[in-house]
Amino acid sequence: MRLRHTIRDLFDARGVPAADQRLIGYTTGAHALDHLVILSIPLFIPIWITEFQVTTYELGLLVTLMTGLYGAMALPSGILSDRFGADTVITGFLLLTGGVFLAVPFIDSFATLAVVVALAGVGAGFYHPPALAFISREAEAPSKGFAYHGIGANLGIGIGPLLITAGLAVSDWRTVLGLLAVPLLGFGVLFALRGPSDSNDHTASSHSIGDVLTQLRALVTPVFLGIIAVYVFAGIYYRGTLTFLPQFIDTLSSLPSLDLAGASVGAGQWLYSLILLTGSVGQIVGGHLGERFEIERVLLGVFAATSLALLALGGLSGTAVIGVGLVFGALLFTLAPLQSSLVAKHTPDAGQGIGFGLVFTVNFGIGALGASLAGWLLSSSSYSLLFGVLAVFPLVAAAAVLSVSKRGRPPESHAQ
């Protein structure tokens, strides 16, 4: 009760309409859990390599499978949201994903691990389009709603891995990963019983396959294809770097472990969590930069700096990696608000729903190949080569941004 009043007072102080507070509170919580599921997996990879005697390439394929399925669910979840209601689909995401983690204690082989992780990707992939549509349709002040919804991602990105790291310091990985079922199932039941309702007329929103294909064809323009390229190449280096980042950090013997509750926490765990926490700051900075300057110019700067940071990660050692890693984390997560603004700027209002679904699909679907690429490179070479190869992708993404900038003009619906 006290927590609810505290949250309400915070919303009141920030000028969030009373009618929106329930909607924003529930979707923000669900958003944090969604990001917790996806970004906690790399923390377990060093453990799985040892326990299941698998290669980095095999684990890279596993993460590619999970992330690819996560992205592949974006378009179907948006269509289901229009047909059955965003509240129903979000509840389904929470219950389905939570149910998957109940199976974690029974994992006894790499094959069963792959099934559980893949199903977790499917369940978590149902979240984003329904939530964005829910806020857009129901909120009196949707812009503030989106802002607080983004804070939910920051909580999942920054605090979630810290909790996982603390758990791994005092317990085994099956217990820690399996316990994710508790907040997911608990919040799913709460969302179903007490959460906000989607009042949209779903009987009027039954999209046929032909309707979806027609909208997709309307988006196939040189400008939008350039935007898709930005998302694809950014997704490849995003997933390729994060998947094996904890393991890379563990190879740096000069970085210290931390003592937590009498247990030793490896550098790969605590520094990875810290990098993601810095990334939550990057999202806020990216949003402010996108409001003050031209989106394309900001993206060019971010991609150039990211390429340099990746090269530095591959060439430096010792404590210098901490500083570069934190800078990289901030740069990596500035992309979310900037890329979303790029889509909004160059896509007509009527096509933004399916447009966001499409770029989300390619970002996590095709971008998931970055994990396989990283695993393959590490199975036969070094981290220096890996980061050198990954440093090329931000530059290719920057070239795609230049193409969008030269060809694109904001649609009439955005003209001032």
Amino acid 369 reads L
Q: What is the DSSP string of 195-238?
A: S----S-GGG----HHHHHHHHHHH-SHHHHHHHHHHHHHHHHH
- Cα–Cα distance, 59 to 46 (Å, whole number): 10
Contact predicate 26/196, CB 8 Å:
yes
- Cα–Cα distance, 240 to 237 (Å, whole number): 5
Contact predicate 358/228, CB 8 Å:
yes
Residue 127 buriedness (CB in 10 A; 0-12 / 13-18 / 19+): buried
> For the structural domain made of 210-411, what CATH number should be given?
1.20.1250.20
Class of domain 12-192: mainly alpha
Q: What is the per-residue pLDDT for 216?
A: 67
Contact predicate 63/365, CB 8 Å:
no
Give the pLDDT of the chain (416 residues) as one tens digit per residue: 555 555 455 545 455 566 677 788 888 889 999 988 887 888 898 899 999 999 888 888 898 899 889 988 888 887 787 778 888 899 999 999 999 999 999 999 999 999 999 999 999 999 988 887 787 777 776 656 676 777 777 777 778 877 888 888 888 999 999 999 999 999 999 988 987 776 655 554 555 666 666 666 766 778 888 988 999 999 999 989 988 888 888 887 677 777 766 666 677 778 888 888 888 788 778 877 877 888 889 999 999 999 999 999 888 777 788 889 999 999 998 888 788 778 777 776 555 667 777 888 888 888 888 888 888 888 888 888 999 999 999 999 999 999 888 876 555 545 44
- Cα–Cα distance, 249 to 386 (Å, whole number): 14
Residue limits of CATH 1.20.1250.20 in the chain? 12-192, 210-411
- Cα–Cα distance, 201 to 86 (Å, whole number): 11
Lookup result for tokens 């294909």: 213
- Count of H-run helices and E-run strands, the chain: 20, 2
Tokens matching residue 216? 């997709």
Q: What is the per-residue pLDDT for 184?
A: 96
Q: What is the per-residue pLDDT for 200?
A: 58
Q: What are phi and psi of 103, to 5 degrees?
A: -85, -10
Q: What is the per-residue pLDDT for 410?
A: 54
Tokens matching residue 326? 């934190």
Rounded (to 5) percent helix, strand, coil in the chain: 80, 0, 15
Q: What is the per-residue pLDDT for 217?
A: 72
- Cα–Cα distance, 361 to 357 (Å, whole number): 6
**At how many degrees (to 10) do helices 222-250 and 392-407 cross?**
160
Q: What is the per-residue pLDDT for 415?
A: 46
C-alpha count within 13 angstroms, C-beta hemisphere, residue 408: 27
Tokens matching residue 191? 């969302």
